[in-house]
Structures are given as structure tokens and as C-alpha cells.
Amino acid sequence: MRDVLPEEARRWRYVETRLLQVLLSHAYEEVHLPLLEATELFSRGVGEATDIVEREMYNLADRDGEGLTLRPEGTAGCVRALLQHGLLFNQTQRVFYSGPMFRYERPQRGRYRQFYQIGAEAFGFRGPDVDVELILLGRDFWRALGVEEQVELEINTLGSGTARGIYRDALIAYLTPLKNELDEASQRRLVKNPMRILDSKDPATQVLLRDAPKLPDFVDPEGKAHYDDLKEWLTEIGVPYRENPGLVRGLDYYTDTVFEWTTRSLGAQGTVCAGGRYDGLVERLGGRPTPAAGFALGLDRVVLLHQEVHETPQRQGKNQPEPNFAASADVYVCVLKEALAGDAMRVAEQLRIGLPGLRIRSHAGGGKLKSQLKRADLSGAAWAILISEEEMQEGRISVKFLREERAQQSLSPEALIELLQKQPES
């Protein structure tokens, strides 16, 4: 688990805000879910044979001895919440959530034991149209962040839960005689979660899989029709994709469509968003049969991807400026005399009201103007506001341009606000 310090947190806030704006623009509604859930929720929902449940969950017991778990993913808790509050039966729902998840994994760049996700879930929609909608949400994410060229969509189909079970048995029958030749992780998964072996990164295991039963051969006709319609929609809308027969996802609840958005810009941690359909999960958790689909986006990795693409500030057009993440303020208010500190705070408040998009910092701690301007420069601010006794009496304020070769100007507060409104944000 790690700390997110100010400079990274500034980029983090920017990325998260842009992503949540996209979800709201698609009319998805926000839910807030607890960090702690009953352990049984994940063993039933995610699957007892998954790596998450077997080895990666943080479990504890409350005073009554009831098993609790720090949430390792968000979908099961989201289903539980909507079921508990009667929001699924004979209804459709589109919701999203965000926040930390917890898994006991080997930490590395882009993979942490406390990591952050944004998840979107849609309930009550049986056709491939909602699958496409969720994929389009992903595409809009990348466009909003200016990283569309760095990601690729991969898709596959698992067929119905019944078809998946038949394929699972066939895969076990094929791999069992070859068990000793599999990598260690695949040997462990062989009986309990064999489909994860298809996703193995071990070259020797991948060689063994060349002659293994192929998942598409086991997909039921209804599942094939669903998948064909999905591909037709994506082609018609103009969303490029790559079919990946080895894409199976690691959670038991997936059926039919599965997809991932991947990038080559982050090394081994290439999946930045993944999801698919899970039509049987609501029933598994005690509800009535309900079609469902969703995805989870790894915010840690998306922030890293954004940093790779936008390492230095870039302008993305008048309406979408790329902020300077090294800057902690946009405007820095200085005083020529310490006795003017109260006036400086009043001016700063006036500017915050008139310039709600800017970060305005009032100087604190005293010191001469030279040292104040040095702090203003270190903050990354684009403008320094100078409060003097004479100008205050005249109803004027001076602005010094810290990042441009422009002469200092003395303006009324209204004219100053109008000037800064026309400037691109730093």
C-alpha cells in the first residue's frame, strides 16, 4: 500500500474528475459502497476457486466472530447493495462507483495492495447493445484523457454458464496428463480455475495450449449470435477491436461477452480496464435471474498512462487545457506590508468567487515581497497579485505575469477577474 503525494494527487484528481464526468454524461448514477463486506459475499459471488478468494483477500472477524473482508472488487458489493434495497426486480439500473480495493498481491509498478477502481454496472439489459454502451464508455474515457492512441480493445465470448462449464471440463481433461509440464501457477489452477491457464504468460504453457480445446467451439448458438451482433455493432459504430480467444477474465461470474482495454505503454501491467457480462451473478447472490454487464477501470494504471502520454503540460484545445501538474496554485496573492494581510484574504475570496476554476493561494508567514514572489514562483502559479496600500485606496490591484513576458498591470478587481477569465488555466 502506498501514499499518493501532492504532485501525483493533482494529476490523479484531474484524471478521476474527467472519468467521472464521462460517466455522468452517459447518465450513469453514482452509488457509494462500504469498504467492508461479509466474506461470504465474495466467496459466493467471485468464486471460491479464484485467486482472489483463495489467496488475495484481507479477512478479519468482528467481535461476534462474523467473517469480514476488505473489498477486493466492486461488482459483488454493488449487486448486494441493489438487491438489499430492492432496486433490481423488474427494473433497469445503470450505476457507477469509485474507491479503493484491497488484494494481497506482489506490489509492482501499476499493481498495489490498495488500488483504486472506477466501476460501471448495468442491470436488466439482455442484448449486446448494453455491452457496446459499456465499451463506448471506455472509448470516451480515453478520448477525454487524450490517450486514445495508446489503448486497444480486445474482446471474446465465453458463451452461457452451461457452455462455459462444458468447456471447463474439456480443458481439464486435456491438461491433466500434461500437469507436470505446466508452470507452477497453472498447476495450482488446473482443477479449481482452469480457464485462467489460457491467460498464462509462461511461454512453455502457451506452447502446450496450442492443441487445447478451443473455447469458440463450445459456445452455444445463442451466445454466438450475441457475439456476432456485438461485433457488427462495433464495426458499424467504428470502434476498432481485436478478438482474443485467450481472454477469459479471472472471476467466476463472467458469461458471454468479455473485453479488456490494454496498452503497451505500461510494460507488464497492460490491462487498464476490463469487464463483460455476468448474467448469473444476481441469482447466485439470492436475487431473481437478472441480466447484467459492467467493467472496472484501474485508476492507478490510467493515471500512469496519462503521465506517460502527458509527461509535460500540453494544450488540448481551448475547451480542454492540459493542466500543469507540477503547479500547486494558479494565482498567488502577495502583500507589500504585513498589515495588508486581511485585505489580501478579502481579495483572494473575491477572486475565488469570480474565478471558480482557478486555485488561489494567499501568502502566509510574512516576509518581504521578494521572498513572497519566490514562493509564488515555486508554487507554479502563473500570476502573482500584489496588494499595496496605495492601490487598495484607489480600488485597484496589480497583477504580475510569472510565466509570460508581459508588463505588470494595475486593474480594478472586476477588470482583473475579466482578464484572468480569458487566460488558459495553468
By mean pLDDT, which of 97-106, 121-130, 274-283, 314-323 is the weakest? 314-323
Exposure of 359 in the CB half-sphere (CA atoms within 13 A): 15
pLDDT at 317 over 70: no
- One domain, residues 147 and 227: yes
Average pLDDT over residues 255-284: 90
With respect to residue 257, please indicate whether it lies within any of the assigned structural domains. yes
Q: Which of 254, 279, 309 is the last residue of a domain?
A: 309
pLDDT at 280 over 90: no
- Return the C-alpha torsion angle 112, 117, 122, 128, nearest 10: -60
Cα separation, 395 vs 186, whole angstroms = 74
By mean pLDDT, which of 36-40, 252-256, 412-416 is the weakest? 252-256
- Whether 95 contacts 121, CB under 8 Å: yes
Q: How far apart are the first and last CA of the chain?
A: 31
Q: What is the domain extent for residue 27? A: 6-160+220-309
- Whether 229 contacts 127, CB under 8 Å: yes
Q: What is the pLDDT of residue 165?
A: 82
pLDDT band at 214 (very low <50, low <70, confident <90, very high): confident
pLDDT at 150 over 90: yes
- One domain, residues 143 and 283: yes
- One domain, residues 271 and 400: no
With respect to residue 316, please indicate whether it lies within any of the assigned structural domains. no
With respect to residue 215, please indicate whether it lies within any of the assigned structural domains. no
Per residue in 114-133, pLDDT (tens digit) is 999 999 999 999 999 999 99
pLDDT at 51 over 80: no
Q: What is the pLDDT of residue 312?
A: 57
- One domain, residues 271 and 366: no
- One domain, residues 266 and 403: no
Question: For the chain, what is the domain count?
Answer: 2
Average pLDDT over residues 316-338: 76
Cα separation, 398 vs 377, whole angstroms = 16
- One domain, residues 344 and 290: no
With respect to residue 192, please indicate whether it lies within any of the assigned structural domains. no
Q: What is the pLDDT of residue 20?
A: 96
Say what percent of the chain tops pLDDT 70.
95
pLDDT at 315 over 50: no
pLDDT at 81 over 60: yes
- One domain, residues 294 and 364: no
Average pLDDT over residues 67-96: 95
pLDDT band at 250 (very low <50, low <70, confident <90, very high): low
Per residue in 223-242, pLDDT (tens digit) is 999 999 999 999 999 999 99
- One domain, residues 145 and 31: yes
pTM: 0.84
- One domain, residues 305 and 337: no
- One domain, residues 381 and 242: no
With respect to residue 209, please indicate whether it lies within any of the assigned structural domains. no
Per residue in 216-228, pLDDT (tens digit) is 888 889 999 999 9
Which of 252, 258, 267, 263 has its CA nearest to residue 296? 258
Per residue in 84-124, pLDDT (tens digit) is 999 999 999 999 999 999 999 887 777 889 999 999 999 99
Q: What is the pLDDT of residue 1?
A: 87
Q: For residue 352, what are the β-bridge partners?
A: none
Q: What is the pLDDT of residue 396?
A: 93
Q: What is the pLDDT of residue 319?
A: 45
Nine-digit cell at 376?
Answer: 509564488
Average pLDDT over residues 178-205: 85
Q: Which of 258, 274, 309 is the last residue of a domain?
A: 309
pLDDT band at 316 (very low <50, low <70, confident <90, very high): very low
pLDDT at 50 over 90: no
CATH of the domain at 15: 3.30.930.10
Q: Tell me what the pLDDT averaged over the chain comes to.
A: 89
